[in-house]
Structure 1
Amino acid sequence: MINVVENVNKYVFCYLFSFSLHSTAFFSPVFSAEWEAEVLANINALTGSCVVVPCRFRYPGGQKPSSRLSGLWHLHQKEENLNTKQYILAAEVSKVIDSFKDRTRLLGKLGDDNCTLEIDGVKDHDNGPFCFRIEIPDQDNFSFREGCVSIRSFDTPEKPKLTYKEKSYEGRPDTITCSVTHTCPSHMPVLTWSWPFDNEIIIHYNNHKPGIWEVQSILSFIPNARDDDSDITCTAKFHGGKSSESKMSLRVKRKMGFTLLFTSSV
């Protein structure tokens, strides 16, 4: 029987981003006199999967509710020109260029100064740079062209990393950890084990660093002598259908047997 326990306490979901103590403090004032945005300059993404781009911003004046703000994402322009701007995300779908329709969504809450973007079904030409634009009806609009993100796509998914002891001991509880990083926290990779015997699996979701997340699966088991030299495989299946795996061979040290001999003399 396999018992799976998910631990989401460490997982920071995609629209609750805080890049660092510095950035948290940077965006905390209720009143701002400048237009500023904080976006990762570069981020990697697996083709066919999705990528989440953390983004925060601030604007002049007091903070406003989401209902009074409109957030858009567009391809970078050297010079601002609304007539030639190519949008990849907009409330008006007709504004979005065909290659990005139905593939983008805003995960952040604009009223919380969060402009986090998701791009699904990543393609090898989704390079960018992509910039955020905020529009405030009856006030002002601004494109953050100095803080844009470029995407580097790759076709082969990362292999899971296995962490384990060189030797296990018969009858003594042991663990093997499988972990993989990714850029798609809204559609996390699924980790599975080939181990067929009784065990417990604990899963952790971690915010590894800005723009990179991690799924970790811990396999707990009690090794038996018959398990020696068994292959154990951890497979990571990513959103979009791609997968990768890593394998290790279990080494089990048998319990030592003792035989007591009693002799008697006449």
Structure 2
Amino acid sequence: MIGKLSLLLSLLQAVSGQWTLETPRTVTAQTGTCARIPCRCRYLPERDGEPRRGFWYWNGIIVYNSEDPLRTTPTFRNRSLLSRDLKSGDCSLLINRIGPGDGGSYRFRVEFDKPIQYGDSEEILLHVTDFTDRPLVFPGEMVAGEAVNINCIFNTSCNAELPTLTWINPPTGPVSNSNTQHKKIITLTSVLSLTASPEHHGQNLTCRVSYPTVWSEQTLTFSVQHKKFSIWKKLLISVGAIFSVIVAAVFSYMYIHLRKTKGTSETQDPAVSYSTSSASNKAQMGGGTEDTAWGFLELGNE
């Protein structure tokens, strides 16, 4: 009877939105890397500080037990873990060294005591594919006699078992490695520093990313320029930029001048016509006035 009441209480809490387990329907992982199955728990506020147990099941078999990690299926032992503590509300499962046989149906359960309460997630289907990710290599401009940094970058979410970056047959030069994290993504960076020489031209440099069971790589072919060629190249680029600015300025000046000239001609035409007409009228009026004056003079003389 108590078990039925507890189950009914759990169902009522789930319906009311006070008890939820949020998980995706499907997850994809690559062979040899890690799989992260997201999970988020939301409990009643009054049970936030209480102890709880978490269990992950794979095809009905326990693959993670928060109370006793040894009570898991041997094939998942020491490979499965939670991304954070259950009290944080994060119940996500991490599985390292994923293999094709790890695909299938996963489900999470959380349990409380006194009173007994538990909640089950929806079924999550894990798909396992081949390993296809590769590192990215970014070369700097290689000029004979000048120092250059070559960067190799790889992104991963496997924070429990990070891969490694190595250079294959690199030229002599120091290598520095670093890791940075943004949310769930970890960026691995390896920087090879060297002084380029004509002997490097045409050689191959390979950056390899390695997990315990799989690896991939990216190859760069060196293209080394002579210093004089590089100087002329930079000079031509500078001259081209200056020439472009001059041409743009000339066209802008011509356009503005043309607009001003057109505007002036349109403004002056009516004025010229009016002035000519006014001058003619004034000449006619002036002529009539002058004749009248001469008529007065002649009458006076008579």
Q: TM-score range by the shorter chain?
A: 0.5 to 0.7
Q: Which amino acid aligns with 1:187?
A: E
Q: Which whole-Å deviations, capped at 9, do the CAs of 1:141-177 have from their partners, x for residues lacking one?
A: 11122xx543221233422222234x41223332222
Residue in structure 2 matching 1:73, options 48, 53, 56: 56
**SS of residue in 1 equivalent to 2:87:** helix
User: Retained in 2: the 8 A contact 1:200–1:221?
Assistant: no
Q: Which residue of 2 aligns with 1:112?
A: 88
**SS of residue in 2 equivalent to 1:226:** helix
**2:191 & 2:22 partners in 1: Cα distance?**
35
User: Retained in 2: the 8 A contact 1:33–1:61?
Assistant: no
Segments of structure 2 that go 5 or more residues without pairing to the other structure are 1-15, 232-302
**2:36 & 2:192 partners in 1: Cα distance?**
28
Q: Which whole-Å deviations, capped at 9, do the CAs of 1:104-159 have from their partners, x for residues lacking one?
A: 222311121121222233221322332221111113111122xx543221233422
Matches for 1:116-265 after TM superposition, within 5 Å = 116-139=92-115, 140-145=117-122, 148-165=123-140, 167-194=141-168, 195-207=170-182, 213-238=186-211, 240-256=212-228
User: Retained in 2: the 8 A contact 1:157–1:242?
Assistant: no
**What percentage of aligned pairs have identical amino acids?**
23
User: Retained in 2: the 8 A contact 1:202–1:217?
Assistant: yes
In terms of mean alpha carbon deviation, does 116-125 or 135-144 score higher? 116-125
Task: Give TM-score, length-normalised by structure 1.
Answer: 0.67
Counterparts in 2 of 1:218 and 1:93: CA distance versus 1, 3 Å: closer
Q: Which residue of 2 aligns with 1:64?
A: 48
**1:188 & 1:58 partners in 2: Cα distance?**
30
**1:179 & 1:224 partners in 2: Cα distance?**
24
Counterparts in 2 of 1:245 and 1:93: CA distance versus 1, 3 Å: closer
Structure whose alpha-carbon radius of gyration is higher: 2
**SS of residue in 1 equivalent to 2:158:** coil
Q: How far 1:72 moved relative to its partner?
A: 1.0
Q: Which residue of 2 aligns with 1:36?
A: 20
**2:177 & 2:155 partners in 1: Cα distance?**
17
Q: How far 1:205 moved relative to its partner?
A: 3.3
Q: Which amino acid aligns with 2:142?
A: S
Counterparts in 2 of 1:249 and 1:93: CA distance versus 1, 3 Å: closer
**1:185 & 1:68 partners in 2: Cα distance?**
26
Counterparts in 2 of 1:51 and 1:217: CA distance versus 1, 3 Å: same
**2:33 & 2:111 partners in 1: Cα distance?**
30
**1:149 & 1:220 partners in 2: Cα distance?**
46
Q: Which residue of 1 aligns with 2:35?
A: 51
User: Retained in 1: the 8 A contact 2:203–2:222?
Assistant: yes
**2:25 & 2:157 partners in 1: Cα distance?**
14
Aligned length: 212
**SS of residue in 2 equivalent to 1:246:** strand
Q: How far 1:235 moved relative to its partner?
A: 0.9
Q: Which has the higher strand share?
A: 1
